A and B are shown apart, each in its own frame.
Chain A
């Protein structure tokens, strides 16, 4: 090595690089995280169309969409959190907590239900923040921390509800001020060309769109991928990794709040034992949709397709007039197939690029 400074090589004229085989649209599609889920969704759709006569009717389809949306809304927050490299096992019971907070405060203090909605928003975001702060302060795996908060919340839901109402369900808020307007926002039916579609379906699509925009176009999106992909590297170039992670836990909490409000205004009373086990369903939606368990990779659209697969399986089994006990078996099989497909596709893309 001599001391002389070598001339930097002449810059290449702009234009496509000759070493880059032209990427066919197919190859581009193969590189997307959603692909496995999309293939699975198409296959399932074809399957249930064949075995269940009523599956293709518009009414049934709107029921499928409704089921998809209730899980899809949570899957939005959970998938962002997973891309950011963390889990939230408390997400399922947090929905119930959010619903109980709104219903119990509105009823106990005879407030307008909107006051309960706002109080619930603040407290539920607070719960998300507690999850995030505990993670950031202790550096324990989020799996353990949220497992602890999961049990604590599950206990609180039952304990507080029984103490206040002497019952395992909250008192009905149906006759309280503001119920009708709140129901319009969180739990109404919308008529689309003669078909009844639940309003949650539209909220779901909106949340997915916002999350996708954040991931692909916002600065925070860049930070989320980086925080999940290599937190140390991200911190070293000045990304506020801790704040991003706290924000993601609060994002899950926001989705839990919204889902909780849907419960309150769809049923007027809230069963305090509900929600246990749902957290795994949200994670399944995200994983089927292509989120890596190790973080740093995935998409909100994928999680939405995952939720749609979930909805189709859930209702398709009913329309096929099978014993609904099979649902869980199917869900597990879907998870296995989708993740294996994802794995194979990703390996193939990596090898050929």
Chain B
């Protein structure tokens, strides 16, 4: 793993002391983050911690209210996702990944349609490319003409990831790509996260599951109620510490303690302890 030494070129993305309010809701306060080529930066936190808000700032969907956002050392304030895309920052959203009623190939090229001349789309090329790119990622599509809404959740995430990689993203932002997935499908998505890193992309990976984050991550930012409660490189944190740091850690321990006081709860508490210690 390439460890960034101080004094090297500026990282691809750097957020310093970023804050964001929704009206009177303070969704994010004083958060700093770096993402460099060939690294996976994980953002962890419980529901409502501000993870999606953070990456919407990165992706240009929202503008930050305080702090600075730099891309390759240059201060930016994106007005739209198009601006971020033009800088090579591609985002796969938790809630805004695809258009369900549209065929897979139309989704794959949406917003970056390949054209022959004038406005004419090169449909053949787009169909073939979609099939090939998905196959290269190990997803073998039945039919690129089927509505993407008929794919499984994991396959849908993979289309969105493959699309970002294909269009030459330098930074890939993934918002809980594994949240709704089964064990196997989550594994598939995690493999693409690693693949994207091997291709030299800077990956920002959002999740609330430390067991998904730890194996693939190089740096970990833990958010709680809109604030950073830890920012660690992989070699100064263990998986258990990471798990404990997440809001879950202490609270699960408390819950186990409460359950202990009732006879029936003892077994459950044991289970719960086992869960938190060796997943």
Contacts and interface: CB of A to CB of B under 8 A. Distances in A.
B129 to A, nearest CB: 13
Contacts of B109: 222
Interface string B79-91: 0111001000001
Interface stretch (B4-12, B63-71, B130-138, B223-231): B130-138
Task: Please tell me the size bucket of the interface on B.
Answer: 35 or more
B194 A8 contact: no
B187 A225 contact: no
A234 B110 contact: yes
A137 interface: no
A30 interface: no
A84 interface: no
A225 B102 contact: yes
Interface in B237-273: none
Task: Please tell me the size bucket of the interface on A.
Answer: 35 or more
Contacts of A347: none
Contacts of A3: 215-216
A230 B99 contact: yes
Nearest to A23: B143
A236 interface: yes
Interface stretch (B13-21, B46-54, B118-126): B118-126
Nearest to B113: A219
B198 interface: yes
Contacts of A220: 119
A308 interface: no
B101 A296 contact: yes
A191 to B, nearest CB: 35
Contacts of B216: 3
Interface in A283-321: 296-297
Contacts of A9: 138
A1 B112 contact: no
Interface string A225-239: 110011011111111
B143 A20 contact: yes
B140 interface: yes
A19 interface: yes
A217 B211 CA distance: 45
Interface in A204-252: 217-223, 225-226, 229-230, 232-240
A247 B99 CA distance: 20
Contacts of A239: 110-111
A222 B138 contact: no
A2 interface: yes
A17 B101 CA distance: 22
A57 interface: no
B81 A17 contact: no
Contacts of A296: 99, 101-102
Nearest to A14: B131
Nearest to A8: B138
Interface string B143-183: 10010001000000000000100000000000000000000
Given A230-B98, A233-B98, A238-B82, A5 B91 contact: no
A218 B120 contact: yes
A234 B187 contact: no
B121 A219 contact: yes
Given A1-B211, A8-B137, A8-B138, A238 B85 contact: yes
A130 to B, nearest CB: 24
Given A11-B136, A237-B112, A226 B102 contact: yes
B115 A219 contact: yes
B72 interface: no
A139 interface: no
B61 interface: yes
Contacts of B81: 235-238
B123 A297 contact: no
B117 to A, nearest CB: 12
Contacts of B191: 5-6, 8
A224 to B, nearest CB: 11
A161 to B, nearest CB: 40
A236 B101 contact: no
B96 interface: yes
A217 B102 contact: no
Given A220-B119, A222-B106, A230-B98, A236 B91 contact: yes
B121 A1 contact: no
A229 B120 contact: no
B123 A229 contact: no
Contacts of A353: 146, 150
B127 interface: no
Contacts of B97: 233
Contact of A234 (B111, B141, B198): B111
A76 B212 CA distance: 50
What are the nearest 9 A-B pairs in CB distance? A237-B111, A238-B111, A229-B99, A238-B82, A230-B99, A219-B113, A1-B215, A11-B135, A233-B96
9 contacts: A5-B195, A222-B109, A222-B121, A225-B106, A233-B97, A234-B111, A236-B81, A237-B112, A239-B110
Interface of B: 59, 61, 80-82, 85, 91, 93, 95-102, 106, 109-113, 115, 119-121, 123, 135-138, 140-143, 146, 150, 163, 187, 190-191, 194-195, 198, 211-212, 215-216
Given A12-B135, A233-B96, 9 more contacts: A8-B195, A17-B141, A17-B143, A20-B142, A20-B143, A217-B120, A225-B99, A233-B98, A236-B59
